[in-house]
Structure formats: C-alpha cells, structure tokens
Structure 1
C-alpha cells in the first residue's frame, strides 16, 4: 500500500495571470486538480509547504489527500513549474484519482551492490544510462524506486530492463529492452587489453616452437640410423670394391 501524505489547499475564486500573481504575492502557489471525469478545480497551496514536499524527493510519485473546504481529494502530482531565476514553485498540477485507478509514473532507478561488482573492483565506473523508468501500475502499488543489482557486472557489461524483476502488478511502458547501467572501463584499459593479447599471442607462439622442433629431431633420427636400415647401402659399396678384384684378375691373365 502506497503512503499517502496530507496537504491543505484553498479554493481559488478566480483564475488568470493576474489572480495567479496575487496568490504568489500572498505566499501561495496556484494549482489545479483535474481528472476522474470531473471539472477542473482551481486551488492554491502554501508556498513553504509545497517547497518542502518537492525538496523531500519523489514528489511526482507520492499520493496526497488534499483537504479542501472539509472534503478530501485523493490526488497525485503530475507536474510543477519553477521560476527560471529564483527556482521557487510557481504552479502545480494534481490529477484526481478514482478508486482502483491505474496510472503511468516515472520511477527513479537505484543502483545496488556496486562495490561488489568485479568490474568496479578492477577500476571500472558505474554509468547509469537510464535514471528513471516509465511504469504502469495501480495507484495503491506505486514503487518508490526500482533496484538495479550490478554485483555481477564485469567491465564493459550492461544491465538491461529485462534483467531486473519488477514488483507484482507493475509493468514497464518501454517497448524495447533498454539499457539501465553499464560498467565503463578505466582510462587506458583498451591499451592494457591489447598489450595482454599481444603477450598471450607471443607466449602461444613460443610454446608452439619446441613442438615444431621435435619432429625435425625425429626426422634426423632415421637419417642417423640409415646405415643400419641402410645396411644395403653399405653393402652396395662392398660389391663395388669386389668388382675391382675381377678387374685385377683380368690383368693377371
């Protein structure tokens, strides 16, 4: 069950730029409640209280019961505008929620167990590619954040949307399998990998060289043993020497 906060508001009797400026001068922020097949309801909320709610975080995924003239309206903030110079809220929109309604929300991604990642241990850096995930869920089941466990990631490996388990009843709106987190290699990592590959190739070549010499030595063995097996070759020389004897015998005749 999602946590519901309380927020007090006042009905605005008039709308328009002039009325909105008057509300801001009075220390209030103009806004509107809309949705659930009911007409828009112009309101204003206390500037200081609204700032605190926004700065507390997760403002756009928090449910509020807005008390207005003795009646409570279950809403969720859908948008707010800040002054571009002074950075204080100048307008806020709330969407009225019906019982059992399903909404689309943008939920932050929280990276978990980064220190256990083998890639981080080797000098890599966690790079959050997707900071928020668009989800569809019931108003009573809005997750505060989605966890991304990167404890198994090596350098240059990534975690995708399909790799995480979403809460029951929550489904992503993205059609593709988006990348959430990547472990970025440290500076000089590519050069180190090339040097390691070159060293490995050199070691493999050195290991292969003695194996190639062995057959050459084995080939020499038959050459050295050729006289034994080649006793015929030595025997061939003997008849040649014996051939001189008849030649000598011819002279005696």
Structure 2
C-alpha cells in the first residue's frame, strides 16, 4: 500500500496565469484540489518541499494528507508541470479521495530474481513490454508497485499479468485478461547455447597439395 505523506497547503485567492505567476514570485507553487463532489479549491504549496517529493519518485501514486490552513484532506496528485528550462515545479493537480472511491493509476512493475532466470544467465535479453501497468485501485489501497518474479524464465518465455500477484481490489484496465508484461529472447547468433556444439565440431582436414607434374 502506498505510504500516506503529509503536505502543508494554503488557500490562495485568484485563478489564472496572472495569479499563478504572483504565487511563484512568492516562492510557492500554485495547485488545485478538485473532485469528490466539491468545488475546485485553489491552493499554494511550499516550493522546496514539493520539489523534494516530486523528485523522490512515485509522486503520482502517493496519497497525501493535505493540511489546508488546518483542514485535513486526503488527496492524490493527478498531474504536475515542470519548467522546461529550470526543471522546477510549476503547478500540481490533486484529486480528493473519498472513502470507498476507486481511481485509475499507473503502477510501476518491479522485476526481481533476474539471477534465477536461466535465459538471462546465458546471455538472453529481457524485453519489458510494460514498465508500468494502468490499474483501477481502491483509493485507500494504492500499491506502490507490483512485483514480477523472473525465476525460471528461459529463452522465448513470456511473463503474463496472470503470473503477477495483484493487491486485493486492484484490476488492470487492459481488456486483454492475460497480456504479456515481459519476454526473454536469446542473444543474436544463439549465444552460449550453441557454443558447445560449435566446439565439438571436428576441424576440416587441410587440402592436399596437388601432385606436381
């Protein structure tokens, strides 16, 4: 389950580009909290703490308890913008989380036990089809990641979503019930598997010199 983190926010007055620029000049980042059957609420966030959270990873699958001038709201980031030159936050959209609600998120796939995959040990290549899987998940049980175990995978094997344990209440949005998440292909030329056969092949006999007339 994704960890819940706390983040202080302040209600801001005014919307639009001019108001957003004014917030940034104060060293803060404009944001908006929406959804849950309530009106959108413009907010501002402290720039340094927000930057640390974004670049720490898993920002879009982290549940936050927003402290909005003393009022607590559970929310999850749905989008954020970065300055294309400075790579600093420009704006964040938060979705309110209400009890019993479900939402669609991208869940990272962590691949484990590569050392236990015979095909990888013999030089095969792991072709990852999905680094993340889009899923419907309960708002109170958002997974940080799902784990794909590569134990036993050999050349030309495929790992399907059905082989990956999913947290309770989580369901992929992909209509294909057993889509391929990754596959393992042999190295070009056959790799180590063909080496013994090549070594065992007898050397060709040298051609005899033609008899001189």
TM-score, scaled relative to structure 2: 0.86
Aligned to 2:211: none
Aligned to 2:137: 137
Higher normalized contact order (CA 8 Å, seq sep 6+, divided by chain length)? 2
Larger Rg: 1
2:185 is the counterpart of 1:184: yes
For structure 1, list consecutive stretches of 5 or more residues without a partner in the other structure. Answer: 201-253
Within 2, Cα distance between the matches of 1:172 and 1:45?
33
TM alignment of 1:38-49, pairs within 5 A: 38-49=38-49
* Cα distance, 1:28 vs structure 2: 0.9
Question: Would you say the 8 A contact 1:2–1:139 is kept in 2?
Answer: no
Question: Would you say the 8 A contact 1:136–1:171 is kept in 2?
Answer: yes
SS of corresponding position for 1:140: coil
TM alignment of 1:1-253, pairs within 5 A: 2-176=2-176, 177-189=178-190
SS of corresponding position for 2:188: coil
Within 2, Cα distance between the matches of 1:143 and 1:68?
25
SS of corresponding position for 2:20: helix
* Cα distance, 1:178 vs structure 2: 2.2
Output the aligned Cα RMSD.
2.2
For structure 2, list consecutive stretches of 5 or more residues without a partner in the other structure. Answer: 202-213
Within 2, Cα distance between the matches of 1:180 and 1:187?
22
Question: Would you say the 8 A contact 1:159–1:179 is kept in 2?
Answer: yes
Question: Would you say the 8 A contact 2:2–2:61 is kept in 1?
Answer: no
Q: Deviations over 1:156-191 (max 9, x none)?
A: 221111222212221111111322112232232289
Question: Would you say the 8 A contact 2:122–2:193 is kept in 1?
Answer: no
* Cα distance, 1:125 vs structure 2: 2.3
Question: Would you say the 8 A contact 1:125–1:183 is kept in 2?
Answer: yes
Within 1, Cα distance between the matches of 2:57 and 2:2?
15
Within 2, Cα distance between the matches of 1:84 and 1:179?
34
Over 3 Å counting, the alpha-carbon distance change for 1:196 and 1:97 in structure 2 is same
Question: Would you say the 8 A contact 2:81–2:91 is kept in 1?
Answer: yes
Q: Which of the pair is proportionally richer in strand?
A: 2
SS of corresponding position for 2:50: helix
Question: Would you say the 8 A contact 1:116–1:151 is kept in 2?
Answer: yes
Question: Would you say the 8 A contact 1:76–1:94 is kept in 2?
Answer: yes
* Cα distance, 1:61 vs structure 2: 0.7
Q: How many residues align?
A: 198
